[in-house]
A and B are shown apart, each in its own frame.
Chain A
Amino acid sequence: MSLEFVRSEPGDDPIIVEGYFAVAPAQVFQAWTDPDIVMKWFGRAPNSLHAATIDLRPGGAWQFLELGDAEKSVGFEGEYLDIEPGERLVFTWSKVIAHASGDRDATPTSQVEVTFTANGRGTDVRLVHSAVHDEPTRRGFGGGWSFAFGTMSALLSEKTT
């Protein structure tokens, strides 16, 4: 996996990601705030999302589900804190598993700020994801308890291939 968009050091808080997109800021902003377009790009792969809902107003909720079946739903959710169309979007962030039994596993809330700046005919997008609760999660499979996970992932992928 290429990390060419990442600007922060592994494990740092916040995580800073920057990229250039060859369309106008308004169009990139729309891609972040129109659930039909979000469905096309957000998630493990294009068009992999199960559902997306967006209530685009300060205090409004958003939810992007990667999975939803009779047993549980898995996805990300939060609420919008600041909305400046075509310029800036700030929202809270939590990963949530909701079980059919009513139990919920949710990560502590972190915050995501996305800014859109015109650059020629395109847009520079800067994403700052701050206060992700623990270093191994920010870093990914790099340290702490992740050793066993790394080995485990390798084993599982061997088994499935």
Chain B
Amino acid sequence: MQNLDTTFAALSDGTRRAILARLVQGEARLSDLAAPFDMSQTAVSKHVRVLRDAGLVEVEKRGRARHCRLNAIVMKEASDWLTDYQSFWTRQFENLAQVLVGENE
């Protein structure tokens, strides 16, 4: 079980979020992941390691290349944790109105 603190700590960095955004599109080789960033592959590897330790990314070695992919379940848990309170309260008000009207009918 991943602790949310670890997950959010891993997500607190812009480069790591950009890596995740890339992986949302599909699996990528570590070497390809590094390409859009103005940093060495070693530096990108460190970020990937943090994401892997947090359970957000899985790394698999195939031949000479390391392939990275998103772990959707951990990402979903973190995503579920964030509540959009504007739409949240709007929904509550809609539900409440529905129930109160129903009771008076």
Contact = CB atoms under 8 A, between A and B. Distances in A.
Q: Are both chains from one complex?
A: yes
Interface of A: 1-6, 8, 10, 15, 17, 19, 21-23, 27-28, 31, 37, 40-46, 95, 97, 99, 101, 103, 105, 125, 127, 129, 132, 136-141, 145-149, 151-153, 155-156
Q: Is the interface of A mostly helix, strand, loop or mixed?
A: mixed
B82 A149 contact: yes
Q: Is the interface of B mostly helix, strand, loop or mixed?
A: helix
Interface residues of B, number: 39
A43 B79 CA distance: 17
Interface centre among B72, B86, B94, B104 (most CB of A within 10 A): B86
Contacts of A156: 72, 76
Given A23-B104, A148-B20, A3 B97 contact: no
Nearest to B23: A148
Given A19-B96, A99-B1, 8 more contacts: A1-B87, A6-B89, A17-B89, A28-B100, A41-B92, A46-B98, A148-B75, A155-B72
Contact of B86 (A99, A139, A151): A139
Given A10-B86, A97-B81, A140-B87, A46 B3 contact: no
Contacts, number: 125
A17 B100 contact: no
B91 interface: yes
Contact of A23 (B75, B93, B100): B100
Interface of B: 1, 3-5, 8, 11-12, 17, 20-21, 24, 70, 72, 75-76, 78-79, 81-87, 89-101, 103-104
A136 B91 CA distance: 18
Contacts of A97: 4, 81
6 contacts: A2-B94, A5-B90, A41-B96, A42-B95, A148-B24, A156-B72
B26 to A, nearest CB: 10
Nearest to A106: B4
A77 to B, nearest CB: 14
Nearest to B84: A140
A151 B104 CA distance: 42
A100 to B, nearest CB: 9
B77 to A, nearest CB: 9
